[in-house]
Amino acid sequence: MKYDAIIIGSGQAGMPLSLKLADKGWHVALVEKGPLGGTCINTGCTPTKTMVQRAQIAYYASHAARWGVRASNVSVDLPEIVAQKDKVVHHMRGPKQGQIDQRPDMRLYRDTARFVGPHQLSVGGETLESEKIFINTGTRPLIPAIAGIESSGYLTNATIMELTSVPETLLILGGGYIGLEFAQMFARFGSRVTVIEPRDQIIPREDPEIAAELRRSLEIEGIKFLVNTRAQRIERKGDSVVLSLAGGDANSAASTVTGSHLLVATSRRPNTDDLALDKAGIATNEAGFVKVNSKLETNVPGVWALGDVNGGPQFTHISYNDYQIVYGNIVDGKNFATEHRLVPYCLFCDPELGSVGLTEKQARAKGYKLKIGSLAMTHVSRAIERDETNGLMKIVVDASNDRILGATILSSAGGETIHILYTLMLANLPYTFLKGAIYIHPTMAEGLFSLLETVKPVS
């Protein structure tokens, strides 16, 4: 069967691309062996942020006295939270089948796709052909090669959200974005949480003072951290899991930690194993991610890789932007590319970490002369009034032209506020453009007024 386009995977690039191409009158095949919607809707953003919000409610309720409110007998009904999470997931996923059914030029294949040539796929015993093929198969958890891990009964970001009883003690391998969101979530549900991170700070991409402030905030809630620490062996002993540790904090503390549950949140691996990419001559890197150029095309002309599977920034909104790039280029005749793409993102802890562009350490590594501004949230009226003063704002500026190179806002609603500075960067305007602006009082965004006043040259 010949198609104008074949899309493998119904994630946040594949689904909108297939629908828009079908709306243009293209004969489109969409291949999806799992639930429609990809990682974001089914095991990523939608379910996790639903549960993060419930965890925040639990925190407010159990700490109500801090705000002068009396609350008693607060408890977490995890089965009900999981049921609410599932309801939201089904609500987001549900319309997608109908969207496909409404398009007569689109066919959904519920099977695995394997390349048999550069532009041929085998799907459920049928051969599909197209001059335009788009790979949007996403990623899954990468399980580290630690002795005993396979028999430990570990959890992943997907399976931990299926638990219906709160872990008594939760051990987490990995102090990155996924690990920290679940660390705070389950600490607020009532678990005792320990995070083991092999590098010298949590969220290693971020500047040290940002990571340190977030760590301090999480430690206030009782979360323990072991950095520069690796798990060498994992053993299941009855109802417990025991990790043998080495390095860093393990040398100055117990060499083992014991928990009731273990979450593996170390890294992700691409879903390319079953694609038989070698049959098409499609190149991958050592980790299995599909290599693409700045227009997201592989080394095989007419084959593109979109979203997490191409090894770019692992965010849903970047997957969607990948769709916008290829659609704009192929259908609208644009010349979109990824070289200078600004990538905003957010870590949905409390306080939220919203960020865009370069960190200070990245800007220094690139040789920029810098101006830096920084402001603790203890100086922001709205944060003081809410009694949520953990966090800080930071801006990194090119000293030669006053353009913003990057910014980070660690605060309540940090993921929202960062968009103001992101918009300024998109417009290629100097940071001084906002210095005379009027900010609504009192808002978190009003903190930008004071932040910009702190910008000074640094050596």
Spot the catalytic one: 63, 119, 340, 441. Answer: 441
Count of residues for the chain?
Answer: 459
Per-residue DSSP letter, 33? S
In this structure, what token pair is assigned to residue 151? 């028999």
CA distance 220 to 214: 10
**Rounded to 5 degrees, what are φ and ψ at 439?**
-110, 140
Structure tokens at 418: 């960062």
Cα-Cα-Cα-Cα dihedral sign, residues 271, 272, 273, 274:
positive
Could you check whether the bond before residue 351 is cis, i.e. omega within 30 degrees of 0? yes
Which phi and psi angles does 393 have, rounded to 5°?
-110, 145
Question: How far is CA 172 from its chain centroid?
Answer: 17
Paired tokens of 201: 């700070």
Cα 244 from Cα 78, distance rounded (Å): 30
Whole-angstrom distance, CA of residue 87 vs CA of residue 91: 6
Task: Count the neighbouring beta carbons within 10 Å of the beta carbon of residue 343.
Answer: 15
Contact 391, 377 (CB under 8 A): yes
Cα 429 to Cα 116, 371, 450, distances in angstroms: 50, 15, 19
441 is catalytic: yes
Instruction: Give the separation between CA 442 and CA 444, rounded to whole angstroms.
Output: 7
Chain CA centroid to CA 299, Å: 27
Phi, psi of 217 (to 5 degrees): -65, -40
Q: Which of 157, 115, 151, 164 is nearest to 135 (CA)?
A: 115
Catalytic positions, please? 441
